Amino acid sequence: MLPMTQHVTKPKVVVIGAGFAGLNAAKALAHAPVDITVVDRKNHHTFQPLLYQVALAVLSPAEIASPVRTVLRHAANTEVLLGEVKGFDLQKRLVLVDDPYTGPPDRAVSARAGVLSLPYDYLIVAAGATHAYFGHPEWEQFAPGLKTLEDATEIRRRILMAFETAERELIAKRTPPPLNFVVVGAGPTGVELAGAISDIAGRHLTKEFRSIDPRQSRIILLEGGPRVLPTYPADLSASAERQLKEMGVEVRTNAMVTNIEQGVVSVGKEKIPASVILWGAGVSASPLGRMLGVPLDKAGRVIVQPDLTVPAHPEVFVTGDLASATRHNGQPVPGVAPAAIQMGKFAARQINRAVEGKPREKFEYLDKGSLATIGRSRAVADFGKLHISGYFAWLAWLFIHLLFLVGFRNRLFVLSEWAWAYLTYNHSARLITDPAEKDHVETPKAKAG
C-alpha cells in the first residue's frame, strides 16, 4: 500500500486594509507558505497622494484606483474579502467581519450573512486614518476632508458648483455668493488643495464662463501654526509660502479656526464668508485601534513594539498610519505612503522569518525624503541635505508619484492626462456628479439683487 499523504495546514494570515501598508504586505507574502485573507470595506486600492487631483478635476477616480482583486489576482495563496471589521478577539485569534453594505433593504443586492469570524495565526492591521476635527465632528458636513474617492468627488462637486452658481446668479441679475475658497490647515494636503484651486480658477476656467471671471476668486489658506508645511525644513516652508502667494493664495498663519458653519469660517471674532470650505488640518487614527484593546497614543494610534507588534501579542502587527512607531533617533515615523509601504513589507518579512524559525528584526524607517506639490511647475522637495524648490522639485514629484502608482494602465493614463492638462490648460475630468444624500450640504443661497 502507498503511504497516506499527510495534510499540512498552512499558517493563516489576515490583513486588514488594502492601503499602502496592507497591499504591500499581501504582495510580499504572495509566494510564502501561508494562506492570506485581505479584508477591506472598499473593493479598491486608492493612491491617496493624488486624491487632490481628482478633487480638482485633473484626473478621474479610475486613474488613481485599482480593484484589490485585480492587483492580487496572480497571488494563488490570497483571497480578498469585502467586509467591515467589527472587532477582534486577540485571545482566540479571531477577526469579526460584517457585511460592509449599509444601504436601505430595498436596494440591497443580497441578503446579509451576519458577522463572520476569521481565524488567524498572524494578523496585520493596516486600517489607516480618518479626518480629525479636534472635538468638532459637526464641522465635517461643512468642511469635508480628503481621504477617499468619495471625498474627492464631493469636493470636486462643491468647487465646480460654486462657479456654476455664481454664473447663474449673475445671469439672473442677482448678487452671487462670493467666490471665496477657504482651506483649513497648511500641511501637504492643504497646500496642494489651495494651489490646485488657484490653478483651476486662474488658468483652466478663464475662457469658459461669460458672466463671471474665475480669476477674481479668493483662495484663503488658514494655518493655526507659525508656518505652512510645518514638518518641512524652514527654508522649504518659506519657499512654499512664497510660491503660494505668487499664485494669488492668501496665506494666513497663526490663524486658529474657532468655528465652521454653512458658508462661514470663524477665526477668533472674524467671520470669513466662503462658497467652499475644505479641511486639511489633521487626521485621526482608525477606530480599529481602540478595538484591539492595547495602549494608544494621543492621536489614537497603536503604540507598537520595535518589530511593529502589540504588547503581549507577537502575532499581531500594526502598520501604516495606525501605528505609532519611533525611529532609532527617537523621532516618530511619519504617516506618509513610503513609511506605510516599508511597514507592510517589514511585517510580511517577519512572518516569513517566523515560519522559517528565524528571530524577529527591528523596524528601521528609511527616510527617502518628502515632496509637496503647490501648483503648475511649483513644488518643494526635502531629500535630507538636498532641498529643492520650484520646477525641478515639481518634476521630481511627477516622476516619483508615477513610479508608485499601482498598475501600468494607471501610470499611462495619468501621464497622458498630465501632459494634456499641461499643454492645453484643460482638465478633462471636470464633471459634476450628484452627492450622496447623506453628505449633501446646500450651496450658499444668493442674496437678492
Residue length of the chain: 449
Active site residues: 192
Measured between alpha carbons, how far is 349 from 225 in angstroms, rounded to an integer?
A: 39
Backbone angles phi, psi at 417, to 5 degrees: -65, -40
Determine phi and psi for 128, rounding to 5 degrees: 80, -150
Cα–Cα distance between 71 and 66 in angstroms, integer?
Answer: 7
| Of the candidates 124, 59, 98, 32, the residue with the CA atom closest to the CA atom of residue 310 | 124
Q: Where are the beta strands (DSSP E) in 99-243?
A: 116-119, 122-125, 129-131, 180-184, 218-222
Answer yes or no: are the C-beta atoms of 222 and 176 closer than 8 Å: no
Q: Give the closest residue to 371 by CA, choosing from 332, 412, 402, 408.
A: 402
Query: Cell numbers at residue 101, please?
Result: 453594505
Judged by DSSP in three states, 115 sits in coil
Which has the closest alpha carbon to 11: 124, 97, 108, 156? 124
Helix (H) or strand (E) holding 170: helix 149-171
Q: How far apart are CA 172 and CA 11, in angstroms?
A: 68
> Is the distance from CB of 275 to CB of 162 less than 8 angstroms?
yes
Burial 5-26 (b: 16+ CB within 10 A, else e): eeeeeebbbbbbbbbbbbbbbb
CA gap 436, 16 in Å, rounded: 26
Q: Are 25 and 347 in contact (CB under 8 A)?
A: yes
Residue 85 parent element (H or E)? strand 84-89
Q: Is the dihedral of CA 167, 168, 171, 177 positive or negative?
A: negative
